[in-house]
Amino acid sequence: MGLAGDIIILVMSALVGGMIAQALKQPLILGYILAGVVVGPYTGGITVADVPNIEKLAEIGIALLLFALGLEFSFRELKTVRTIALFGTPVQIILTMLYGFGIGWMFGWSWTSSVWFGALISLSSTMIMLKTLENQGLMGTLSSRVMIGVLIIQDLAIVPMLIILPQLNNIQTGFSILLIAAVKAAIFLLAMIFIGTKIIPRLMRYIANWNSRELFLIATTAIGLGIGYGTYIFGLSFAFGAFVAGILLSESDYGYQALSDIIPLRDVFSLLFFTSIGMLLDIQFFLAHWKIILLLVALVMLGKALIFAVLSRSFGYRNVIPLAMGLGLSQVGEFSFILGRVGVSTKSISTEFYNLVLTMTIITMLLTPFISGLTTPFYSFVRRWMKPLNHEPMHFPQSGLSDHIVIAGGGRVGMYVANVLHYVGIPFVILEHNSRRGQEVKTCSFPIIFGDAGKEIILQAANLSKAKLLLITTPVAVISLGIVAQAQKINPDILIIARAEGVEQMKALYKKGVTYVVQPEFEASLEIVNQTFINLGIPAEQLKTLTEEARRELNRPLCILK
């Protein structure tokens, strides 16, 4: 069946690999990649024959993922991480390239190969990290926003790399080509501003008026892939164009609907991308060069982890964020495949060198979900040995507090709670480690201590030993569990109310002795049920019985509650 048969083989093998990964409670990405290894051209048995065309379809998967990322992209959200994204990422790329050059020099490679190696390892994987963050339930956290901001700028950096690196053997010609590319990029930017403000909103409004989901989906896909293909013809990255298209569409009134429609298509094509990565792994080549490959994997991941951790800390990020960035972004990215192919086609690097980097890259991708998953336990271990940060009391009552409430977190949830407590006259103090949020709390004249609520000295400063209640407003599991552990050391009898993002986190918090856990989605569903019963005239006693049973048996579906 040719290409159709190959796609069927890939989808079926990915299904089996995904089911195995799910059964083992591992990320689905690993199942997809390993499925690609099994049906790849280097393993024998049932194999995919038309690898080049599968790789082309996989490029559509990359484009659709970045298109969806563009649709989810919010300039307001990126605004909070713009400093490290815009200024820190170039520094990271330069430092990583220098580090890679040093590794090449250590192995005795030529200076051009060493520069190429540094460039190839300087980029991290947007695809892998987006899926990993999604699987870990960390999308929307500050650490995820920082990582996504860095990854976006990294993806943009592939454009000058594709232009400059092939010209290393002819520097003088390279400058003129770079100038031409800069002019092209400026023209592209102006064209996109015009298309995004004048054409796309009118086109989507016209199509939406037909009230046809099929036409809307086709139009959405056409915009994403069409603009991507236009940038490719223009000499820029196909995936970059799709990302820009997503941003443009997200600014219209139809961004959310476009995102919801494109997600199933994105998932199918991104599946082809992950399986195609596995297909590239040559087991025989790995067995012949396993020592140097594993050494490179260790050197690259350790070096990048250190660079990202130090960089994020130097930009003022504390607590779990440097660790999350270091462990999460230590892999080598998918754009390295594209860059490497350009290097081979222009004879800038050898095929053997490309295979070496390719195999190393795939292994770093395979390890990413495991290594990123170590963030929580490793952070819990490290914080026991870290020197407590200095804390700065602000608007703290001179006489101290007793029989009060300690609020860990001065974000939106914490501030809502604080306003209510202030209104009814219940004493409280807020603990907040984010300086900007701390200043916002300070403007309300609420009692606040600037510092990490997971540190014993901060909780002691809040007089937790004499407090009635501790409220934990953060949704991040590793932080909330750390706060619980420290709080119970100071006051074993303290009542704790915590927030959880999912059932697993809720279970973990209850297991640690938290008095009551609030899960926003569950509470929202019960409130919807409440309003439904009230409007249907169902007796309040029956409603109360159902909701109480639902809270006790959270893991069971509502339809079987009696």
Neighbours of 254 (CB within 10 A): 21
Place of tokens 């856990």: 517
Over residues 144-168, mean pLDDT: 81
272-310 residue pLDDT tens: 888 887 887 888 889 999 999 999 999 999 999 999 999
Residues sharing a CB contact under 8 Å with residue 81, sequence separation 6 or more, in sequence order: 142, 145, 146, 149
Residue 531 clears pLDDT 70, i.e. is over it: yes
The residues of the chain that CATH labels 1.20.1530.20 are 2-383
* Separation between Cα atoms, residue 14 and residue 30, nearest integer Å: 10
Q: 261, 213 in Cβ contact below 8 A?
A: yes
Percentage of the chain beyond pLDDT 70 is 89
* Separation between Cα atoms, residue 51 and residue 276, nearest integer Å: 8
Residue 469's pLDDT is what?
Answer: 94
Residues sharing a CB contact under 8 Å with residue 259, sequence separation 6 or more, in sequence order: 68, 71, 72, 250
Residue 556 clears pLDDT 50, i.e. is over it: no
Residue 553's pLDDT is what?
Answer: 67
The residues of the chain that CATH labels 3.40.50.720 are 404-555
Residue 386 clears pLDDT 70, i.e. is over it: no
Residue 223's pLDDT is what?
Answer: 92
422-450 residue pLDDT tens: 888 889 999 987 766 777 787 788 888 87
Residue 105 clears pLDDT 90, i.e. is over it: yes
321-339 residue pLDDT tens: 899 999 999 999 878 877 8
Which H or E run includes 443?
helix 435-443
Q: Are strands 469-472 and 448-450 parallel, antiparallel or unpaired?
A: unpaired
Residue 377 clears pLDDT 90, i.e. is over it: no
Question: Which CATH architecture is the domain 2-383 placed in?
Answer: Up-down Bundle (1.20)
DSSP labels for 224-278?
A: HHHHHHHHHHTTS-HHHHHHHHHHHHHTSTTHHHHHHHHHHHHHHHHHHHHHHHH
Q: Are strands 392-394 and 448-450 parallel, antiparallel or unpaired?
A: antiparallel
pTM: 0.64
Which H or E run includes 449?
strand 448-450
Please give the residue that has the higher pLDDT: either 267 or 78. 267
Confidence of residue 555 (pLDDT cuts 50, 70, 90): very low
155 three-class SS? helix
Which of 328, 335, 337, 404 has the alpha carbon at shortest distance from 372? 328
Q: 30, 366 in Cβ contact below 8 A?
A: yes
Residue 403 phi, psi dihedral angles, 5° rounding: 50, 40
Over residues 380-396, mean pLDDT: 54
Neighbours of 118 (CB within 10 A): 21
Residue 362 clears pLDDT 80, i.e. is over it: yes
Residue 37's pLDDT is what?
Answer: 86
Confidence of residue 181 (pLDDT cuts 50, 70, 90): low
Residue 41's pLDDT is what?
Answer: 81
* Separation between Cα atoms, residue 165 and residue 64, nearest integer Å: 27
Beta bridge partners of 448: 394, 430
Neighbours of 128 (CB within 10 A): 27
Residue 391 clears pLDDT 70, i.e. is over it: no
Fold of 404-555: Rossmann fold (3.40.50)
Residues sharing a CB contact under 8 Å with residue 320, sequence separation 6 or more, in sequence order: 143, 375, 379, 476, 478, 479
Confidence of residue 260 (pLDDT cuts 50, 70, 90): confident
* Separation between Cα atoms, residue 403 and residue 446, nearest integer Å: 17
* Separation between Cα atoms, residue 494 and residue 199, nearest integer Å: 59
* Separation between Cα atoms, residue 397 and residue 402, nearest integer Å: 11
102 three-class SS? helix
Please give the residue that has the higher pLDDT: either 372 or 537. 372
Q: 101, 126 in Cβ contact below 8 A?
A: no
Average pLDDT over all residues of the chain: 82
